[in-house]
Amino acid sequence: MEKFTELIHLFVTVFLSTFASLMVLPAVTDVTMVAVCPGQDECSLAIYLTGFQQAIIGMGTVVMLPLIGNLSDQHGRKALLTLPLTLSIIPLAILAYSRTTGFFYAYYALRTLTAMICEGSIECLALAYVADNVLERQRTSVFGILAGMATAALVCGTLAARFLSTALTFQVAALVSMLAAVYMRIFVEESLPNSENLTQPILKSGQDDHCQDDGDLPRKPMVSKKMPSIQAIISLLKSSVTFSQAAIVAFFNRLSYGGLQASIMYYLKARFHFSKNQYADLMLLVGVSGMASQLLLMPLLAPLVAEEKLLAIGLLGGIANALLYSVACSTWVPYATTIFSVFAVFIPPCLQSIVSKQIGPDEQGKAQGCISGIISLANIISPLIYSPLTALFLSEDAPFNFPGFIFVCIGFATMIAFFQSLLIRAAPPISCHKSSSNSILA
């Protein structure tokens, strides 16, 4: 029960942090447009600034996420969570004070720098925290619940933004971000990997220990204290076919999702003149659909349907979503696409569960950081592809009149991820575990 309580405190921390970061999304587009291109519905400069920021953040997180994950294996999840939770307050506080052009560019610069550490690291550390305390067979469901808490934060944040002014939106977000950091420091207990359960780390220390047939554990392996090198990450990917396949799926799925992030707000504003409130309503509908799926549907399906099959179903939903956006001809179409959110939200928890089962407990942070780094690499490439395409096909200089072509490209990347997911087969985890008495669910 004590362990379960600590997991609840982690969920609350993730909820508060995600609430603060996501509630400003509907307002950031309008603030950017007003600061960069006042009085315009289309602005190529705003699109390029957003894409450039996303690429720079991706470059930073490619390096930082594996490092943060590895350090959390050595020094604990809570110690490393403090850094991103604290840094994420700064950009929000700037726009909470003022949203003039000068303050916007200050926000833009500091948001770019802090996000190199904050972007994805809270999720990465939370996943490692859960893997420390939950048995393998139940991780898909618990990862789904964790993702559901983030989606619930999206719903609540979007709903709050719907009824708050732009100024008040950033002020509330800054206060909630501070509350998340304080709550985590007070209530969340430290979680260090349980070395007693580790049998054979995926990056071997030179000892040739193997899992015994009777399930007994060999002598405790040495845990590397070095910072993760490129060679170590490559070794991690090569050590398991399933791990490398999951990494490919994560890359192409994030490539398509990054394209969606880079283009959708500007696409809806240019095509259908979406306002901040209309975009907030759409986000709210997407969030409610995803939350219901993650908190209600996924815990029911996970014990019955193999996670690799749920992953393929989720990717099919992503393909359908992109293709329907590409032929959108009326304002009701974006709202209709939210039905596919019910399936698309299966993707992250299934990938995270597949990855977590391929490594030992002492390397959960390293593995989740490695996958997060690969996702960040996709974040670098994605805006370089999709931001110019979005600006081109929304302009009068488009080679042909098909603004939705950008979503055809997004769907193509998701399709690659889908076909790769079909190659993933259920296999025994690399780590051999006894039933842990420290697990939350036994």
Per-residue pLDDT of the chain (442 residues; tens, 9 = 90+): 455 667 899 999 999 999 999 889 878 878 888 888 887 766 778 878 887 887 788 788 888 888 898 888 888 899 999 999 999 999 999 999 999 999 999 999 999 999 999 988 999 999 999 988 888 888 888 898 898 898 899 889 888 888 888 899 999 999 999 999 999 999 998 887 654 443 343 334 344 444 434 333 333 333 444 455 566 667 777 777 888 899 999 999 999 988 887 788 778 888 888 876 787 788 888 888 888 888 888 888 888 888 899 999 999 999 999 999 888 888 888 888 888 888 988 999 999 889 888 877 777 888 888 888 888 888 788 888 888 888 888 888 888 888 889 899 999 999 999 999 999 875 455 444 433 334 444 4
**Residues 6 or more apart whose Cβ sits within 8 Å of residue 120:** 61, 65, 372, 375, 376
- Numbers of helices and strands, H then E, in the chain: 19, 0
* The predicted structure's pLDDT at residue 229: 53
Predicted pLDDT at 230: 60
Q: Tell me, what's the pLDDT at 217?
A: 34
Tokens describing residue 384: 């370089």
Residue 338 to residue 345: CA distance in whole angstroms: 11
Gap between the terminal Cα atoms of the chain: 11
Distance CA 54, CA 115 (A): 9
pLDDT at 139: 86
For 83-100, give the DSSP string. Answer: HHHHHTHHHHHHHHH--S
Angle at CA 381, nearest 5°, toward 376 and 385?
Answer: 145
Instruction: Give the residue among 193, 179, 187 at the shortest CA–CA distance from 5.
Output: 187
Furthest-apart CA pair in the chain: how many Å? 71
pLDDT at 193: 67
Q: Residue holding tokens 């719903």?
A: 155
Predicted local distance difference test score (pLDDT) of residue 442:
41
